[in-house]
Amino acid sequence: MFFQNTEDTICAISTPAGAGAIALIRVSGDKALSIVSSLFSKNLLQVASHTAHFGRIKNQIEILDEVVVTVFKGPHSFTGEDLVEISCHGSRYIQTELVNLIISNGARAAGPGEFSLRAFLHKKMDLSQTEAIADLIAANSRAAHKLAMNQMRGGFANELQNVRANLLEFAALIELELDFSQEDVEFADRTQLRQLVANMIERISKLSDSFRIGNVIKNGVPVAIIGAPNAGKSTLLNALLNEDKAIVSEIPGTTRDVIEDVMLIDGVEFRFIDTAGIRETSDRIEILGIERSFEQIRKSSIILLLFDITTEKEDKILERIQQFRNQSVSADQALIPVFNKQDESSEENFKKLKDSGVFISAKTKENLNDLKQQILKAAGDFSDTQNSLIVTNARHYELLCKCLISLERIQLGLQDNLPGDLLSQDIRETIHYLGEITGEITGDEILGAIFSSFCIGK
Ligand code: GDP
The response to whether residue 238 sits with its C-beta less than 6 Å from ligand 1 reads no
CA 109 to chain centre: 28
Task: Pick the residue whose CA is nearest to atom 6 on ligand 1.
Answer: 232
CA-CA-CA-CA torsion sign (344, 349, 350, 351): positive
CA of 229 to the centre of ligand 1 (A): 9
Residue to mutate, 236, 272, 343, 363, ligand 1, most ligand atoms under 8 Å from C-beta? 363
Instruction: State yes or no: cis peptide before 75, omega within 30 of 0.
Output: yes
The letter for the amino acid at 23 is A
Query: Which residue, judged by its Cα, is nearest atom 24 of ligand 1?
Result: 341
363: Cβ below 6 Å to ligand 1?
yes
Atom of ligand 1 nearest to the CA of 252: 2
CA of 231 to the centre of ligand 1 (A): 6
The predicted model scores a pTM of 0.66
Q: Which of 225, 226, 233, 235 best tests ligand 1's pocket when mutated (most atoms within 8 Å of CB)?
A: 235
Task: Give Rg (Cα) of the chain.
Answer: 29
Is 253 a pocket residue for ligand 1 (Cβ < 6 Å)? no
- Say if ligand 1 is within 6 A of residue 344 CB: yes
Mutational pocket test of ligand 1: of 241, 248, 249, the residue with most ligand atoms within 8 Å of the beta carbon: 248
Nearest CA residue ID for atom 13, ligand 1: 250
Would you say the CB of residue 275 lies under 6 angstroms from ligand 1? no
- Phi/psi class of residue 367: alpha, beta or left (left: φ > 0; alpha: ψ in -120 to 50)? left
Tell me, using a 6 A CB cutoff, whether residue 277 lines ligand 1. Answer: yes
Q: Is the CB of 128 under 6 A from ligand 1?
A: no
Residue 72 near residue 78 (C-beta atoms within 8 A): yes
Top mutation candidate among 230, 308, 342 for ligand 1, by most atoms within 8 Å of CB: 230
pLDDT in tens, the chain (458 residues): 455 678 899 999 999 877 789 999 999 999 999 999 999 999 999 999 999 999 999 988 889 999 999 999 999 999 999 999 999 999 989 999 999 999 999 999 998 889 999 999 998 988 888 888 888 888 878 888 888 888 787 777 778 888 888 888 888 888 887 777 666 677 778 888 899 899 999 989 988 888 877 887 787 888 988 888 889 988 998 888 875 444 444 444 444 445 567 888 887 888 887 554 444 455 554 554 455 567 778 888 899 999 999 998 888 899 989 988 888 788 778 899 999 999 998 767 778 888 899 999 999 999 999 999 999 888 875 555 555 678 888 888 999 999 999 999 999 999 998 888 888 899 999 999 998 888 877 777 667 777 777 777 77
DSSP state of 46: T
Q: Give me ligand 1 centre to Cα 197, in Å.
A: 57
| Number of other residues whose CB lies within 10 A of the CB of residue 52 | 11
Q: Which atom of ligand 1 is nearest to the CA of 274?
A: 4
For the Cβ of 234 lying below 6 angstroms from any atom of ligand 1, the answer is: yes
On whether the CB atoms of residues 229 and 311 are closer than 8 A, the answer is no
- Cβ 407 under 6 angstroms from ligand 1: no
Cβ 84 vs Cβ 26: under 8 Å: yes
Q: How many residues does the chain have?
A: 458
Of residues 350, 367, 349, the one with CA closest to residue 358:
367
User: Which is the closest atom of ligand 1 to the Cα of 360?
Assistant: 23
Angle, in degrees to the nearest 10, between helices 157-179 and 420-438: 150
Shortest-distance atom of ligand 1 to CA 366: 23
Contact 261, 276 (CB under 8 A): no
